[in-house]
Amino acid sequence: MTSLAALIVNYGTAELTIAAVESLLKSDLSGLDMEVHVVDNASPNDDAAILTKAASELDWGARVSLYLEETNHGFGRGNNLVLKELANRHEPPERVFFLNPDARVQPTTVQILSDFLDQHPNTALAGCRIINPETAKAVTSAFRFPTALNEFVGSIQFGPVSRLFPRAHIPMSAELPTMQVDWVAGAAFIARLDVLQDVGFFDDDFFLYYEEVDMMLQIRNADQEIWYVAETFAEHIAGAATGLGGEKKVARKPLPAYWYDSWRLYITKNHGRGYSIFCALAKFSGWSLNVGVSKLRRREPGAPQNFVSDFWTFVLHPMLFKTEARSK
C-alpha cells in the first residue's frame, strides 16, 4: 500500500481549513494510506481553538495531526515543519499532497494524481485543474517560469503586444489537456517526498508567494518532470487565505511588501544579479506603460497601486545596491 501525507497550512481561515480537511477525509482511496497534517500559523484569532474543537467533534482522531504554532512561519516554512518531520521517520510516506486551506478536493482527485505518479516514474510532481466554485469554470492552473519577456508582456497587459508574443505569458490556458508544464498552481498538487527532500523542500527564505515556483524550478533543474493533470480538479476560493482575492479584483490594490520580497528573491536566486535587474526593469517598464496606455484608453490600470515606490523600495533598490528591504 502506498503511503501519503496531506498538508494544509492555515492562517486565519479555520472554517475553510475544516472544509478542506473534510474533503480529504472523504476521498475515494484504493491502495493508498493517507494521513492529514494541519499547521496553524499562529493565527491572530481563535483558529487554534476552532480547529481543536473540530478535531474532537468531527472525530478526526489519529487521521489528522494538528500543529498549533506560536509563530507565523509563512507558507513554505509552515509546510517544511511537517515535511522535515515526515522525512526523518524510519519509514517516511512516499508521497505528499499539498492543499490550500481555501481549496477542496473532489473525492477522486488524490487517487488519480497518485496513480498518475505510478504510471509516470519520471514525474516528481503533478497538479490538478482548479475550478472557481462561484462560476464552476476552470481557472489558470499551469504556468511558464518567469522571464524578462513574459514579465514585460504580462505587466503591460496590452492586446497588440500580447498578440505579438502569444507564447510569452506566464499563465497558460485554463483549458489545457494533460501535459508537462513548468509549474502548477500551489492550491492542490501531489509530489514525491524523496524528490522534495533532494531539492531541499521549500526555501525558508520565502515568506509567502513564489516559494512553490522556486521549488518546482529546482525540481525541473534536477531533470524531473512536472505535469498538469486535467482529469482531476479541486475547487479553490481565490484569495480567501491571503486576503488578496482574484486577479481582476485586486489589480489596483497595493501588493504587500512580502510579495515584492518574494519576487525579488526568486529572480535573484535563480538568475543572477545582471539578468535579475534586466527582468525587474522589464516588469517595471511594463507596469509603467500599462498605467499610461490605460489612461489614454480611459480604462482602469492593471498595475498595482503604489507600484513605483514599492517596486523601488523592495525590488530595484535592494538589487542595485545589494541591500535588504524585507518586511514580514
User: pLDDT tens digit string along 87-116?
Assistant: 999 999 999 999 999 999 999 999 999 999
Model-level pTM greater than 0.85? yes
User: Do the domain assignments include residue 77?
Assistant: yes
Statement to judge: residues 181 and 308 lie in one domain: no
- Whether pLDDT at 73 is above 90: yes
User: Residue 237: its pLDDT value, please?
Assistant: 82
Q: Is residue 148 part of a domain?
A: no
- Say yes or no: 227 and 267 in one domain: no
157 within some domain: no
Look up residue 82 and give its amino acid: V
Query: Could you give the CA distance from residue 96 to residue 94 in angstroms, rounded to a whole number?
Result: 7
What is the pLDDT at residue 166? 87
Average pLDDT of the residues in 65-92? 97
pLDDT, one tens digit per residue, over 141-185 is: 999 999 999 999 999 999 999 999 988 999 999 999 999 999 999
Residue 227 pLDDT > 50, yes or no?
A: yes
What average pLDDT does range 15-42 have in this prediction?
A: 97
The mean-pLDDT minimum among 144-148, 189-193, 237-241, 242-246 falls in 242-246
C-alpha cell at 55: 478535531
pLDDT at 244: 59
User: Do 258 and 124 fall into the same domain?
Assistant: no
* Residue pair 228/123 in contact by the 8 Å Cβ criterion: no
Whether residue 12 is predicted with pLDDT greater than 60 in this model: the reply is: yes
As a whole number of angstroms, the distance between CA 186 and CA 76 comes to 11
Q: Which of residues 236, 268, 288 is at a domain's end? A: 236
Give the pLDDT score at 320.
93
| Residue 102 falls inside a structural domain | yes
Minimum mean pLDDT range among 49-53, 225-229, 234-238: 234-238
CATH number of residue 12's parent domain: 3.90.550.10
Determine the average pLDDT of the residues in 257-269.
97
**Looking at the structure, do residues 182 and 275 belong to the same domain, yes or no?**
no
When pLDDT is cut at 50, 70 and 90, the band that residue 14 belongs to is very high
Residues 193 and 295 both lie in one domain: no
Residue 170 lies in a domain: no
Whether 74 and 20 map to the same domain: the answer is yes
Domain that holds residue 304: 250-321
83 within domain boundaries: yes
Do 271 and 126 have their domain in common? no
Residue 23 confidence (pLDDT): 98
Please return the burial class of 232, using the count of CB atoms within 10 Å of its CB with bins 0-12, 13-18 and 19+: buried
Is 75 a residue whose pLDDT tops 80?
Answer: yes
Specify whether 62 is located in the same domain as 121: yes
Q: What is the pLDDT of residues 34-48, one digit of tens each?
A: 999 999 999 998 999
- Residue 283 inside a domain? The answer is yes
Single out the residue in 214, 236, 258 at which a domain terminates. Answer: 236
Question: Do both 86 and 42 map to the same domain?
Answer: yes
Q: Contacts for 21-27 with beta carbons within 8 Å, 24 or more apart?
A: 21/54, 21/60, 21/64, 22/58, 23/104, 23/105, 23/106, 24/97, 24/99, 24/105, 24/110, 25/60, 25/63, 25/64, 26/107, 27/105, 27/107, 27/108, 27/109, 27/110, 27/111
Residues 6 or more apart whose CB falls under 8 angstroms from that of 34 comprise: 3, 4, 5, 6, 24, 27, 97, 110
Measured CA to CA, the distance from residue 263 to residue 167 in angstroms comes to 21
Please tell me whether residues 185 and 311 are part of one structural domain: no
- The count of residues in the chain is 328
Residue 249 pLDDT exceeds 50: no
Give dist(CA 95, CA 231) in Å, integer: 19
What pLDDT does 248 receive?
Answer: 46
pLDDT at residue 310 above 80? yes
The residue written with cell numbers 481557472 in the block is 139
Same domain flag for 257 and 225: no
Domains of the chain: total: 2
Q: Are residues 12 and 36 in the same domain?
A: yes
User: What is the rounded distance in angstroms from the CA atom of residue 273 to the CA atom of residue 156?
Assistant: 23
Residue 99: inside a domain: yes
Question: In whole numbers, what is the pLDDT of the chain averaged over residues?
Answer: 93
